[in-house]
Every structure is written in structure tokens, then in C-alpha cells.
């Protein structure tokens, strides 16, 4: 018989607070058109994007995360010292080590929590949320800070007509804590590694060891392949998450998909047959694709504008490079 004592965690976990930070600079499509042969109408029709936010030199991955985290902590009504773990999803923190999570934990006054980064692209927030739920239920942390943050303007090739208009910068954060009732459903997640080349970094970091000039890495993607995959496969994953939570489409109040593309969002709404009463996040129009930050940023805006309210049942789904995905049903804070 094992001599290890059982963990003493909470019965369930829930999102207790949410916060977001968008850089102050707003970049309209006209700026993008300075470097690519396109039009505002083409960009809007292809993606639904009119503007995006780009970070200044001072709006670093760490600085944006600290701002978003402070709002989430205040919204949750806890003290930073109560945070037992900090999980950061990002692909645009350029140091392989140490994790940016440790710096953020220190800057927000969290004491000595577990702190680590994860790389799961646009599904990163869902991955982090699932890890946080496990920590709360297992008992290794009472409260977990989950952050999705990107400075994708650093990884955007402004001469690439397929991607120059897509990406934006920002940070979104949530506090996950204990709950007496189920408030974060089972996660349906996974990967399709045979499609890993459809979204990728153009140049590996180790290329810069070589004694030759090399263009700085950028994010590239096979747009049509990614669009087809997202539209046809991710609706199935979203439905699996609904089924796992025992929720029917008509039981939903809110749908918060990864803000990749308006056409993808509209197609998923149609495929899932969501009723008209379901509020759908369409933050992509003014924020662009912020990868791991897109879901918490969209969540915060819906709550702040009154389009969603505390206690609403929401389906969230992220998907992106890898190709990876994660979907779950949550109760909004």
C-alpha cells in the first residue's frame, strides 16, 4: 500500500477574474497597405480585420502581462501573494530560458509561486487553463494565474501578403481558483503533427549561429489549408467539448473562439448551429489575431461591455500552430 498521502485540493475549479491589455498604438489597414499590394476591402473580406494593436518598445511581453495580470487579480479579489502558480503561454518571448513567467511572478508580487512558460500557439490559453484546473483540484495551488501574451508584430513579415495584416499584440490573463460546483468543463485537446508545416517560423533560432546574413524569423502559414482545417475540424472539436460538459448549443450563453479570422468564426457558428441568443466574440475586427492572448482578451471585452455577464456559460476554443487545439466549456467570472 502506498504511504503517500492523498492530495487535498478543491472539488472543482473556476475562473475568478479576467484582465486584458491592448497596446496604445492602433494600426489601421492603411498602414499594412504601405508594404503589400492589397486593399482595405480585400483584407476585411478575407479576415474581418479593420485594425490591430502594435506594441511600443516599452510594451514588452512582461510589461503587458503585468498590466493584464493586475486587472485579473483585482477582478478576482485576491492578493498576489495567494497565487501558487503562474502559467504563461507565448511564442514571442525570445529567450529560451529563463521563462518569462518567473519575471512576471516577481513583478506582480506573487512571492515564490511555481512559474513556467508553455508553447501551444493559439491554443495556449486553453492548455494553460487546463493545467491550472488540474493544480487547483490536485491541491498544489489555491490560485493560478494563466496568461496569454504575444508581441506578434515582432514576428510579422510586413511584405508577406498572406500574413502581414493578420497579427496583433496584447495580453490576457485570468485567475483560476477553487469552486464548490463545476465551472470549467472537461477539455478536448490534441494535435495533428502531420500539419505542423502549415503555420511555422520561417527561420530557426540556431540559424543565427552560422556566419552568414539571415532574415529575421517571421511567422508564415498556408492560409487555405489552415482555413479548411479550422472550419471543418474545429467545429467537431467544439461539439466534443459541449458533449463532454453535457451542454447543448441552446444551453450556451456565449461563444469565444480564437480570434483568428472572422470567416472562420462565422463558419463555426453556422456549423455548430448556435442559436441567435448566443453572444459570439468578434474581437478580431479591432484587435487582430493575438494568438494565445485572443480568448482572454475577447472574454474581458465581452464582460466589460456588458455583452456577457458573470455566471454565463461559455464555450471557448483555441487552435493554431502545431497544429494544436483545446476546447472547453466554462462559467464566466
Active-site positions read: 122, 258, 289
Helix (H, G, I), strand (E, B) or coil at 216: coil
Burial 57-76 (b: 16+ CB within 10 A, else e): eebbbbbbbbbbbbbbbebb
Number of CB atoms found within 10 A of residue 250's CB? 10
Compute CA 25 distance to the chain's CA centroid, rounded to the nearest angstrom.
Answer: 20
Q: Which of 23, 298, 225, 257 is nearest to 123 (CA)?
A: 257
**Unique residue bearing C-alpha cell 493554431:** 320
Distances (CA, A) of 23 to 52, 65, 171, 289: 9, 11, 9, 14
Residues contacting residue 28 through CB under 8 Å, at least 6 positions apart: 50, 51
Amino acid at each position: 500500500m502506498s504511504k503517500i498521502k492523498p492530495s487535498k485540493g478543491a472539488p472543482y475549479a473556476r475562473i475568478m477574474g479576467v484582465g486584458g491589455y491592448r497596446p496604445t498604438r492602433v494600426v489601421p489597414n492603411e498602414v499594412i497597405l504601405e508594404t503589400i499590394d492589397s486593399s482595405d476591402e480585400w483584407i476585411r473580406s478575407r479576415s474581418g480585420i479593420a485594425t490591430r494593436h502594435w506594441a511600443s518598445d516599452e510594451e514588452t511581453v512582461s510589461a503587458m502581462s503585468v498590466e493584464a495580470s493586475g486587472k485579473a487579480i483585482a477582478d478576482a479579489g485576491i492578493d498576489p501573494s495567494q497565487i501558487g502558480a503562474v502559467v504563461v503561454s507565448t511564442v514571442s518571448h525570445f529567450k529560451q530560458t529563463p521563462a518569462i513567467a518567473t519575471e512576471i511572478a516577481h513583478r506582480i508580487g506573487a512571492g515564490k509561486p511555481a512559474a513556467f512558460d508553455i508553447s501551444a500557439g493559439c491554443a495556449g490559453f486553453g492548455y494553460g487553463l487546463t493545467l491550472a484546473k488540474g493544480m487547483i483540484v490536485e491541491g498544489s495551488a489555491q490560485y493560478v494565474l494563466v496568461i496569454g501574451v504575444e508581441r506578434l508584430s515582432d514576428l510579422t513579415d510586413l511584405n508577406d501578403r498572406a500574413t502581414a495584416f493578420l497579427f496583433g499584440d496584447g495580453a490576457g490573463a485570468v485567475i483560476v481558483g477553487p469552486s464548490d460546483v463545476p465551472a470549467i468543463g472537461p477539455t478536448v485537446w490534441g494535435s495533428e503533427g502531420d500539419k505542423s508545416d502549415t503555420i511555422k517560423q520561417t527561420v530557426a533560432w540556431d540559424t543565427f549561429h552560422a556566419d552568414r546574413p539571415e532574415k529575421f524569423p517571421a511567422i508564415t502559414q498556408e492560409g487555405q489549408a489552415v482555413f479548411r482545417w479550422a472550419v471543418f475540424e474545429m467545429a467537431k472539436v467544439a461539439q466534443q467539448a459541449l458533449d463532454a460538459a453535457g451542454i447543448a448549443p441552446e444551453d450556451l450563453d456565449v461563444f469565444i473562439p480564437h480570434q483568428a479570422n472572422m470567416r472562420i468564426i462565422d463558419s463555426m457558428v453556422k456549423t455548430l448551429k448556435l442559436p441567435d441568443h448566443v453572444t459570439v466574440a468578434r474581437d478580431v475586427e479591432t484587435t487582430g489575431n493575438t494568438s494565445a492572448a485572443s480568448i482572454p482578451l475577447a472574454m474581458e471585452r465581452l464582460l466589460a461591455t456588458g455583452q456577457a455577464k458573470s455566471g454565463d456559460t461559455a464555450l471557448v476554443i483555441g487552435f493554431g500552430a502545431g497544429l494544436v487545439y483545446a476546447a472547453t466549456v466554462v462559467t464566466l467570472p
